[in-house]
Amino acid sequence: MKQKYMFWQTSGWVLSLLLVFPILAIFYTAMGESDEVFSHLMSTVMGTYTANTFWLVTGTVVLALAFGLPAAWIMAMCRIPGEKILQWALVLPLAMPGYIIGYIYTDWFDYAGPIQIFLRDFFGWQSTHDYWFPDIRSLGGACLILALVLYPYIYLLARTAFMEQSVTLLQSARLLRCSPWESFRRISLPLARPSIAVAISLVAMETLGDFGTVSYFALNTLTTAVYDTWLGYSNLNAAAKISAIMLLVIFLLISAERFSRRKQKLFQQQSEHGDDVRYQLSGRKKWLAIVWCWGLVGFAFAFPLTQLTYYAWHYFSQSWTAEFQQYSLNSLFVSLVAALFAVVLALIVNFYRRLDGHKYSVVPTRMASLGYAVPGTVLAIGVMIPLTSADHLLNDVARFLDLGRPGLVFSGTMFAIIFAFVVRFAAVAIGSIESSLAKIPPSLDMASKTMGYASTAMLRRVHLPLIRRGCLIAGLLVFIESMKELNAALLLRPFNFETLATYVFNFASDEQLELAALPAILLVFVGLIPLVMVNRSLEQKH
């Protein structure tokens, strides 16, 4: 019986090893001898890079908690006007790339922006010596921008945790005359701590991997250090060492999150259908809650989108160019191919796990999912190391066989971007297909074997029709994430090749936000698709 599954076993392990190989390549390269560039960075600016990264992550997490936790508790535990709209509107900022909001708010709040111009005209101020205004292009400004984009992680997970808490506990708190604040502090918040810890780790990892925002704000972090070391100094070894440091930081974040809840076991009875123990807010509290929630939606999504729409409308003729259409097709192609390969890989590793049933059969799925925790800039280094070696080997073999020099077949073509996207987002496809396969009863597998179906026929005629929706969702999610990915695309794109994300970044970096508005809106609306799906799933569960 084991021989029948040899294809799935071999394929699952080989594919998962290919996906984890870039991560291993980073550590292998980093263990080499230090060169002058890395030694110079360590003795001069690495301390500043590390400190900036620490304070950026800390500030963003604190602000994201301050934004997301109150909104989550209000939506889960209170009744306010317009709550059905707010439930999904508060998730919308997740579709807005952080660097786009950073460009817009810098344009508004800079010295030459409309806000400061209005203040100077209104109060008669002549120069910066006459008044003080916070500098948006600073560490604090970057924390604020990233928190506006990333607080939905806190909101989503905390709101779900609040909604799943026991009705009995909440009713008991009311019988004991606990105020809403005491109920939140003494019951809701401790019970939701595991979900909040997961959300904090997600915000921290997203902040650690951000490049577009910190680059525009001229902040030197570990991510910009990787970018500058590779492209500025052309030193892959030093970039790999910095990347290894970032991977260790991410490992510590994940380990700390799991360690913090290692002994927590929460057994709660979820709210029954029809039970509504939410607080009815009135007066000043009601208006404060409304202003808080709608203010988050406005500042993090509605106002920036309005500005982008204004620019796109007035500069449509300059934006709708052959380059924009070509780069849109580029993004469409690489994202579709990456989604296709990610779905096929997810099917193989998940189906092998279902067929084998051995405790080690889960290893390929976990190995193939590791790339999702790796920032795009770091992953680009890991992808480039083995692909460059593969190109050298291919050219050496071709020269030995007198076949000429093929050139950079792997590292200098779209293959590098597609491979990076598959490594980065395969976990999304694996998770979606894994949940779909788990809903198929094992009795169908037994019936298929009784009817004489081989494993391939079983997958084609039994499982695929049943998990078709899960496969479509998996492919859609990988496609959308690939369309939005900036960091890996910036470092791995071939010459004269742009995606929509790099196209927007280049225009905005050159202070031409008007021409970047149309492709930015396209990226935003593409990013809204998974958010709608997530919100619909939450509504179905509750």
pLDDT value for 176: 61
Cα–Cα separations (whole angstroms), residue 426 to 15, 246, 367: 11, 21, 10
Domains and CATH numbers, the chain: 1-31+322-500 (1.10.3720.10), 45-261+268-296 (1.10.3720.10)
Question: What whole-number distance in Å separates Cα of residue 292 and Cα of residue 130?
Answer: 32
pLDDT tens for the chain, 542 residues: list them. 444 577 888 888 899 999 999 999 888 888 877 678 888 888 888 889 999 999 999 999 999 999 999 999 888 888 888 888 888 889 888 888 888 898 899 989 888 888 888 888 888 888 778 888 888 889 999 999 999 999 998 998 888 877 776 666 666 666 666 666 666 666 677 777 778 888 888 898 889 888 889 988 888 998 888 888 887 777 888 888 888 888 888 888 777 766 666 555 554 544 444 456 677 777 888 899 899 999 999 999 999 999 999 999 998 988 898 889 999 999 999 999 999 999 999 999 988 888 876 777 788 888 888 888 888 888 888 898 899 889 889 888 888 887 877 888 888 889 999 999 999 999 888 888 887 888 788 777 777 777 777 777 787 788 788 888 888 888 888 888 888 888 889 888 888 888 999 998 888 888 788 888 899 898 888 877 776 766 665 555 55
Question: What whole-number distance in Å separates Cα of residue 539 and Cα of residue 535?
Answer: 6
- Cα 4 → chain centroid: 38
Question: What whole-number distance in Å separates Cα of residue 88 and Cα of residue 301?
Answer: 12
Q: Which two tokens stand for residue 160?
A: 């779900």
Max CA distance (Å), the chain: 87
With CA atoms as reference, report the closest residue to 232 among 207, 215, 255, 245.
215
Q: Give the SS3 label for residue 33.
A: coil
Q: Which two tokens stand for residue 329?
A: 């097709």
pLDDT value for 329: 92
Q: Give the SS3 label for residue 315.
A: coil
Model pTM? 0.84
Cα–Cα separations (whole angstroms), residue 127 to 110, 136, 363: 13, 17, 63
With CA atoms as reference, report the closest residue to 345 among 410, 413, 418, 416.
418
Question: What whole-number distance in Å separates Cα of residue 523 and Cα of residue 526?
Answer: 5
Q: Which two tokens stand for residue 286?
A: 């009601």
pLDDT value for 68: 93
Q: Which two tokens stand for residue 93?
A: 């900022």
Question: What whole-number distance in Å separates Cα of residue 19 and Cα of residue 369?
Answer: 8
Residue 262 burial (CB count, 10 A): 6
